[in-house]
């Protein structure tokens, strides 16, 4: 629902002066209390203002955030994940660097026998080059962050959970995985990738009304 210019003004006054009585709001606007009654009850109904008896009106911070969170909880990783760039653990650091440039990604997922074994980031590659290392002969398996320390996500989880994991673990990218049991052993198959860029794209699409309701 759109709010009118006057309702917008009321919100600004309450924000600045809360708690504030309806008389005072009316005075700010040079109006009578009765002229404001409808606007105040509408804004309260919309959850933008809260009236406390004998105290006055309060502005309610970001009431849309509940909706936004619900929206983010509704968007599944599967629908927005991108293609993962996957390298074998035996591939060299040089191969890793070349792939990062060619595929234009900041994170490589590393597999052993086709299953998730580790992650290599830009800084992992930079760090590895500081020492006296033969980048053409040293495998990615030597420098990767390895299982079981890899943070991952399932396709049916929400983008909200994905974003929370990226922030909490201070990482740029998450492998989207499916668990399989092979020879009695749990293995992780890589299905996709969620990166900070994915989240930023969704953010813009949401703002442009291309996603959600």
The contact set with ligand ADP (CB under 6 A) reads 106-107, 119-124, 145, 149-151, 170-174
**33 versus 196: smaller Cβ distance to ligand ADP:** 196
The answer to whether residues 33 and 23 touch, using CB atoms and an 8 Å cutoff, is: yes
Residue 72 vs 150, nearer CB to ligand ADP: 150
Task: Give the C-alpha separation, 184 to 199, whole Å.
Answer: 36
Rg (alpha carbons) of the chain, rounded to whole number: 26
Of the candidates 203, 200, 195, which has an alpha carbon nearest to the alpha carbon of residue 172? 195
Q: How far is the CB of 135 from ligand ADP (least distance, A)?
A: 17
CA–CA separation, 88 vs 179, rounded Å?
A: 19
Q: How far is the CB of 10 from ligand ADP (least distance, A)?
A: 45
Select 43 or 150, whichever has its Cβ closest to ligand ADP: 150
Least distance between ligand ADP and beta carbon 172 (Å): 3
Tell me how far CA of residue 199 lies from CA of 164, 172, 176, 177, 194, in angstroms: 11, 10, 14, 18, 8
Pick between residue 43 and residue 153 the one whose CB is nearest to ligand ADP.
153
Task: Find the shortest distance in angstroms from Cβ 109 to ligand ADP.
Answer: 8
């Amino acid at each position: 629902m759109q709010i009118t210019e006057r309702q917008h003004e009321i919100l600004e006054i309450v924000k600045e002066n809360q708690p504030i009585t309806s008389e005072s709001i009316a005075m700010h606007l040079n109006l009578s209390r009765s002229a404001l009654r409808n606007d105040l009850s509408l804004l309260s109904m919309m959850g933008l203002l809260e009236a406390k008896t004998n105290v006055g009106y309060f502005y309610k911070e970001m009431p849309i955030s509940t909706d936004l969170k619900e929206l983010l909880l509704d968007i599944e990783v599967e629908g927005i994940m991108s293609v993962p760039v996957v390298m074998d653990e035996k591939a060299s650091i040089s191969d890793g660097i070349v792939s990062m440039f060619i595929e234009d990604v900041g994170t490589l997922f590393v597999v052993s026998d086709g299953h998730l074994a580790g992650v290599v980031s830009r800084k992992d590659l930079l760090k590895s080059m500081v020492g006296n290392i033969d980048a053409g002969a040293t495998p990615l398996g030597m420098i990767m962050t390895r299982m079981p320390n890899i943070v991952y996500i399932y396709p049916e989880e929400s983008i909200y959970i994905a974003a929370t994991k990226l922030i909490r673990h201070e990482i740029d990218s998450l492998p989207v995985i499916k668990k399989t049991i092979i020879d009695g052993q749990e293995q992780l198959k890589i299905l996709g990738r969620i990166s900070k860029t994915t989240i930023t794209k969704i953010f813009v699409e949401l703002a442009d009304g291309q996603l959600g309701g």
